[in-house]
Structure 1
C-alpha cells in the first residue's frame, strides 16, 4: 500500500475513508439489537389504568426495565402518564435534563448529601424516617424552597420505611413541617405477584390502618399508592388513589404464578443474526469446558451476543432461539460475546439470517417469562440485565425507526 507523501494526499485519503464510512454507516450497525414497540407501551399504559381505575405512576427505573430510560419516559409523558417513578436521584436528574417535566418520585432511600439536588431538580422525595424528614427540612430551608415528599411506610417488606404500627409520630411531624409538602403516602407489596398469597391482605390492612392517622389529626389525606404490577393484576382493592406498575407496563408478567388479567403486549424484542455456519462432527465438543458434545454430525451456527451484553450465561445448553421460524437449542457454554446454536443435521441457516432471542418470528415466539424460567431467574433480571452495549431501536409512537 502506498503511503501518502504530502498533506494533500493524506487529506484526500482521509476524505475517501470518511465518505466510505458515511456510505456504509447503516451496514456497520451491530447485528444484535433491542427493538422496543412504543405502541405496545401505550396499549399497556391505558389497559393498566383502566384495570386499576386510578392514575398511573409509570416506573422507569433501571433504564426503564432495559427499554431505555429517556425515550420511554418521554413517550409515557406524551401519552399522559400522571407520574413517573425512578429508583435513584441520578435517574431523575437524567430525565429532567432530557426535558421530562411530568412529576417524578425517587423511590429509593435518600442519601443525606444528595438531598438538596432533589429539590433543585424538582424531584419528589421518599421520606422513610423522622431522621430523613429532618434532613429534607434542613436542605429545603437552606434553599428557601419547599420539598415535595411521599411518606414511606413499612407494612411487611422490611426494606425502608417507618413501621406502619409506629407511624403516628412520623405522620404528625411530616404534616406539621413548614418546609415539606406531603403529596403521598405509600408502601410496597411483597407478595402481590402471587394471587394466592395471603400477605397482600395483611399489608393492605396495615397500610389503611396507618393512613387513618391523617384523619385522626385532621390532616388532608395525601395520595395513597400501594399497588405494584401484581397489585393491579390480582388485588384491585390495593389500587387506591394511584398505582405503580413496573414490569407489567412493559407487557411482562412478574411471576410464573401471575395471572394475565389484563391484555398486556410485550414491548421488547431481542434479535441478532447468524455470523458463522459450520458442520460439527459427531463426538466433537462445542465452546468452553467442552460441556456439550455433538451426538451426530450436525450443523451449528454462531450468534454474536453473550453474557457481556447481559444475556444470561445460565442459558448455556438450556436456552432456545428462533431461526427461520424454527426453535433451536443453544449448545455449549455461552461466551462473553457469542454463543452457538444447533440447527440439526438438516437445518438451514445462512449468514445474516435473523435470530430471535426474545420475541416472535413467524408463528413462533419466545417470551421473556420463558427465558427467565430457563435461566432459573425472574423476568425482571432478564430485562434489566440487557445493557447499553446492545443498541435499541424504537418503533411506533409517532417515532421513526432508529
Structure 2
C-alpha cells in the first residue's frame, strides 16, 4: 500500500525556525577514512600527503583535513592558495602543499600563511625569491618537473639549470621535487615506467652538483595501487583515500572502504497512467500504469543530468527499500522521478543514490559509468546546496 497523493504525516508539517532539515545529504564516514589512511600507510611504508583539494573530493575540506591531522597525516595537498588559507584559518597546522600553478602576486599569501609552494619554472622561482626577500621570510618550495603531462613544470630534459638555481637559492627552502603520473590509473600502461625514468634522471642532477637530495614524490592514487617503484619518499593519494578506484582498469590492491554516501528521501508518490509522459521534454512515458516517486535532488546540486533516462533504456538508478529502480524522464534542477513499478514506497522512505541499502550497493564508480563520466567528477560535483553529515569520528556534526 502506498501513501496517496494528498497524504501528509505530522513530520511533514514545517516547524517555524527549523533549519538544516533537508532530506538530501552527503554522509561522510570518518571511520572509513581512517581505515583507508591506515591501509595506505601500511601498504607503502613511506609518508603520506593526503590530497584534500576540491572540497576534499566533495567530502568537506575543513572537517576532512582536521580529521586527517588528528590521525597524524604527514602532509596535506590542495590545488589553490585559497584552500590552504582556509585550512590555516580553521586551525590546521600540518604542512600544506599547494599543487597548482601560481601568479607572482600570490606568493606573499603563501609565505604569510606558511604554505608550501609549487615552483614550476625558473621565472616562478625568481618571483618567489623576490617576494620572500621583501618579506624577510624564507619560502618553502617543491620543484615541479614535467615528465609527460605537459601541464605545469620544467621539462625533465631541460631541468638542470632550474635545479641548480633552486639548490643555490638564499630565500627558498627546497623541501621536495615532484612530478605527476598521467596514466598510473591503468596498471598496463607503459607511460608510468617512462615517466619514472625521466623523473629519476632529473633528480640525479642533485647528486651531480653535490646538493642534498630533497624529498621525491611521484605516486598518485594509481601509483599507490599499482606501481611500488613510484613510491619513493612520499605518496600523494587522492581518490583512493576516499575509498574509490580512479579508473575501471584499476586494481583494488588495498582494502579501501567508501567514505561517501549520498542519500535522500521520497517526497511524493503517484500512479502514472500508461502513455502519460514524465518530466521535461516528455521523453519517457510508461507502457502501462506504474508507480512513480519524486526525489528532491537534481543537477542544481551537482547530480548529473546525464543520468536522465534514454530511449535505449540507459540512465541512472537508485535504491529504495533495498531494490534498484530506474530514474525516468529528465533529471530536473532540483528533483527527479523514479519508476518503482509495482513496488511500494512511502513518503520519507530513504533513497540511496551512492552507497549501500540492505544487500544492494551503488558506488561512485558505477554512478560515473551510468553518467558517462569519471568518479572524480561525480564526487566533486556535489555542491554546497547538499549538507554534509559526519559519522564515525570523535565529533560527528553536520556542516
**Whole-Å Cα distance in 2 between the matches of residues 122 and 223 of structure 1?**
18
User: 2:45 & 2:190 partners in 1: Cα distance?
Assistant: 23
Q: Which residue of the partner structure matches residue 159 of structure 1?
A: 151
Q: Which residue in 2 is equivalent to 1:129?
A: 121
Q: Are residues 1:307 and 2:299 paired?
A: yes
- In the other structure, the counterpart of 1:333 is 330
Q: 1:359 aligns with which of 355, 362, 372?
A: 355
Q: Does structure 1 conserve the Cα–Cα contact (< 8 Å) formed by 2:389 and 2:396?
A: no
From 211, 218, 229, the equivalent of 1:226 is 218
What are the residue-to-residue correspondences of 1:131-280 with 2, within 5 Å? Answer: 131-280=123-272
Q: CA separation in 2, counterparts of 1:335 and 1:136?
A: 47
TM-score by length of 1: 0.93
> Which of 78, 90, 111 is equivalent to 1:86?
78
Contact 2:356 2:362 survives alignment (8 Å): yes
Q: In the alignment, is the contact (CA less than 8 A) between 2:51 and 2:76 conserved in 1?
A: yes
Q: Give how far 1:53 is off.
A: 1.4
Q: Quick one: distance in 2 between partners of 1:53 and 1:211?
A: 21
Between the aligned partners of 1:214 and 1:293, the Cα distance in structure 2 is 67
Does the alignment pair 1:349 with 2:345? Answer: yes
Other-structure match for 1:117: 109
- In structure 1, what is the Cα distance between the partners aligned to 2:191 and 2:38? 28
Match in the other structure for 2:373: 377
- Residues 116-137 of structure 1, C-alpha deviations (whole Å, 9 max, x = no match): 1100000000000000000000
Q: Which whole-Å CA distance do the structure 1 matches of 2:57 and 2:393 have between them? A: 18
**1:11-90 to 2 correspondences below 5 Å:** 21=16, 25=18, 29-90=21-82
Residue 322 (1) aligns with residue 314 (2): no
Secondary structure class of the residue paired with 1:394: strand
> Root-mean-square deviation (CA), in Å?
1.1
CA distance in 1, matches of 2:223, 2:186: 9
Deviations along 1:76-113, whole A, 9 cap, x unmatched? 00000000000000000000000000000000001111
Cα distance in 1 for partners of 2:62, 2:103 equals: 24
Instruction: List, as ranges, runs of 4+ consecutive aligned residues in structure 1 with deviation greater than 3 Å.
Output: none
Counterpart in the other structure of 1:389: 385
Larger radius of gyration: 1
Distance 2:41 2:383 in 1: 29
Show structure 1 runs of 5+ residues with no match: 1-19
Partners of 2:261 and 2:354 within 8 A in 1: yes
Deviation at 1:314, TM superposition (A): 0.3
Number of residue pairs matched? 380
SS of residue in 2 equivalent to 1:185: strand
